[in-house]
Amino acid sequence: MKKVLSVLLVLVMLALASAALADTSYTATVDSQIGGVDAVTATVTLADDGSIVSVTVDECKDTPGICDAAVKTIPEQMVALNSINVDTVAGATMTSEAILNAVKTALEDGGVDITALSEKKEIVVEKAADEQLSADVVVIGAGGAGLAAAISAEQNGAKSVIVVEKMPKVGGNTILAGGALNAVDDRSETAVKQNDSVYWHYYQTLNGGDWQGDPELVMTLVSNAWDGVQWLKDMGMEFNEDAIFTVTGGLWERAHKPVMPAGTGFFDTYTKYIDAHSDVITLMLNTTAEEITTDESGRVNGIVCTGETGNTVTIVANSGVVVATGGFAKNVEMRQVFDTIWGNLDETVKSTNHEGATGDGVKMMQKLGADFVQMGNIQLLPLGDPQTGSLSGNIEHNVETRVFINKEGERYCDEGGRRDDMTNALFAQTDNFMWIVMDSDTYPTGDELNNFGETANQLVEAGRAVKADTLEELAEKMDVPADKLIAVITEYNRHCEGGDLEGQPDEFGRTLFATPIDDGPFYAAGRVPTVHHTMGGVHITTSAQVVSETGEIIPGLYAAGEVTGGIHGANRLGGNALTDTVVFGRIAGASAAAAK
C-alpha cells in the first residue's frame, strides 16, 4: 500500500512538473517615449495551449507615479482577456504603449504566432447598482488643488470627505508639472539675498499678468505661499533646500524644488496623508462628476456622477462641494471658442496637459449661473516635446543655465522673459522650433536627472536630445551652422562673465546670466509651442467661494486651482500654478468644511 502511494505521489509530482514545464515565458526590453532606450522590460508566460498565464512588467523607467496605472492595469487586462491587444490606460498612454510593445516583441522574438492573441478585446464590465453616498465635503478632481482641498477639509473639521476623480489615477496636470512652486519667506536670509519679498512676488505676479489679476486674490496667493510650503513639509514632503531657482517665465529666483521628479512629490505626500486618514477621506477613481445639484433655496447640496461601471453615483454634500477639475487645454473646441490671445489653437497646437483637462468644471458651473473671468487668457509655453507637446523630455533645469537657439543657429529672445513673449518669439522662428542648449554645469556626466525624472543620457539614447564634446560637434548634431552657434554662445558667455559690456546690453534684453556654456559635454533638445494652462476660469472670492453672474456667492460651492480665473491675469508666472493649487486648495477645503 505504501509503495502504491509513493508511486502515485511520484506520478502526481511528474504531472505537476510537466504542467509547469508546459508554461513558457518570453521576455523583451523596449524603448519608451518617456523612459528612453530600454526603458520597459516585460515578461509574458503562455500555457501550452497558447493562452496567457501571466504578464509582468519587470522594469519600467518611466516616471514613477505617472506610469503606475499602466504597469498595474495592462498586465491584468491581458490575462483577464487573454489578449495582447488591450486598451491603453487613460493618463498613462505612452507607458501603456511601451508595455504593449514589450509583450508583443517578446512573443514575436520567441517565434510565437500572435494572430489569435492579437484579437482586440475589451473588458465588458457589468453595471453595478446605483449608489447614494454622502459626506460633509465633496471634492471634484484629484489633482493638486483637489487633494489639497480634501486634506484641508479634514484638517478643518470635516468628519467625512469624498473625492471623485474621473481618471484611473490621481494627479491631473499637477503630476506632470515641473514640480517647482514659488514662495517667499520674507524673514529668511534667502529672501534678503535674492532681493525678494512677498510684496515683490505680488507685484511681479500682477505686472506679469498685465494687471488683469484680481489684487486681492493675488495677495492671498503670495502671502499664503510660504505657509503652504511649510504645510507640505509638515506632511513629509521633501524639497531641495539649497536650490531656490527661476522657473521658465518665473521672472525671479523664488521657486522651491521638490526632491521627487515632476509633480510626483505632491501626490506621494497627499496620498500618504489620505491613506492615514482613510476613516475620513475616501477617494473614488474612475468616477466622473456630471452635475452639481442644488436644493430649493439654491444652495449646492451634492453631485451626480457616472461611476466606474457606468452606474449613477449620487453624493450628498452636507457642507459643500469643491470644484477642482483643472483646466480645458485638452478641449480643442473650448480652446477655440474662448481664446483671445493666439488666434488659432486648433489640434495642430499640441498641449502639455493630461487627457482629463477638458473643462468639465466650467460646464457644470455654467449651468449654475457661475461667473467666469478672463476665459480668453490661455497660456502657451515654448517648451513642448515636438512629437507630443508634453513637458517631459525638457532638458533645462532652470533659466539661469541655458539658451534658446533656432534652426539658423541663432538666439532670438530673452530666455528669462515672460512665457507669452517667449512663445510668441518661438512662433516667429522657422518651423516654430528651437533647441535648448546647455553644458556640463547642468549635466556633468549626463546621468543626472532633469525635472521630470529622466537622465540626459536617456533622452539622448531615445533621440530626444543630442550630446557632444564640442560646440562644433553639437552644431552638426543640431544641423545648424557651427560658426553661427559658436559666435552666439561666445557672446552669451561674455555676458555671463560680465565682460566688456559697458553700454552693450544683451540684444534681446536678457539680464539673467549665470553660468557660461563653455564646458563639454554640451546638450541640446528640440522644443515647440504647446498649450499649457487655461488661466481664465470661475470667479472666486479670497475664501474660494464661487461667485454668480449677478455677483452673489453661490452658497455651498467652492473652487480652486486651474478651474478658477482672475489670479494669473494675461500671463502666469512660471512656478505660480502649483502655489495656486496649494494655497487655494487649502482655503477651499477649509471654507467647505465650515460651510462658509
CA distance 260 to 395: 16
90 binds ligand ADP (CB under 6 A): no
Q: Quick one: which of 287, 354, 277, 309 has its CA closest to 93? A: 354
Q: Quick one: which of 30, 481, 353 has its CA closest to 489? A: 481
CA distance 390 to 352: 4
419 tagged catalytic: yes
Among positive and negative, which fits the CA dihedral 529, 530, 532, 535?
positive
For 318, the 3-state DSSP assignment is: strand
Q: How far is the CB of 168 from ligand ADP (least distance, A)?
A: 10
360 binds ligand ADP (CB under 6 A): yes
Q: How far is the CB of 538 from ligand ADP (least distance, A)?
A: 11
Q: Nearer Cβ to ligand ADP, position 166 or 510? A: 166
**Near ligand ADP by CB under 6 A: residue from 63, 325, 374, 377:** 325
CA distance 208 to 206: 6
Q: How far is the CB of 366 from ligand ADP (least distance, A)?
A: 13
**Near ligand ADP by CB under 6 A: residue from 32, 70, 99, 166:** 166
**Near ligand ADP by CB under 6 A: residue from 174, 182, 352, 429:** 174
**Do 513 and 489 contact (CB within 8 A), yes or no?**
no
562 binds ligand ADP (CB under 6 A): yes
Residue with cell 514632503: 237
**Near ligand ADP by CB under 6 A: residue from 29, 45, 288, 312:** 288
Q: Nearer Cβ to ligand ADP, position 100 or 365? A: 365
Nine-digit cell at 435? 533647441
**Do 369 and 554 contact (CB within 8 A), yes or no?**
yes
587 binds ligand ADP (CB under 6 A): no
Q: Going along 79-160, which residue ranges are E strands?
A: 131-140
Residue with cell 494675461: 570
Q: Quick one: which of 352, 369, 398, 421 has its CA closest to 562? A: 352
Nine-digit cell at 466? 543630442
Pattern 517-556, binding to ligand ADP, x per CB under 6 A? Answer: ----------------------------------------
**Near ligand ADP by CB under 6 A: residue from 35, 75, 143, 529:** 143
**Near ligand ADP by CB under 6 A: residue from 68, 136, 165, 385:** 165
Total residues binding ligand ADP (CB under 6 A): 26
Q: Nearer Cβ to ligand ADP, position 524 or 578? A: 578
CA distance 15 to 20: 9
Q: Nearer Cβ to ligand ADP, position 171 or 409? A: 171
CA distance 426 to 435: 11
Contacting ligand ADP within 144-163 (CB under 6 A): 144-146
455 binds ligand ADP (CB under 6 A): no
Positions touching ligand ADP (CB under 6 A) are: 140-146, 164-167, 172-174, 288-289, 324-326, 356-357, 360, 561-563, 581
Residues carrying an active site annotation: 419
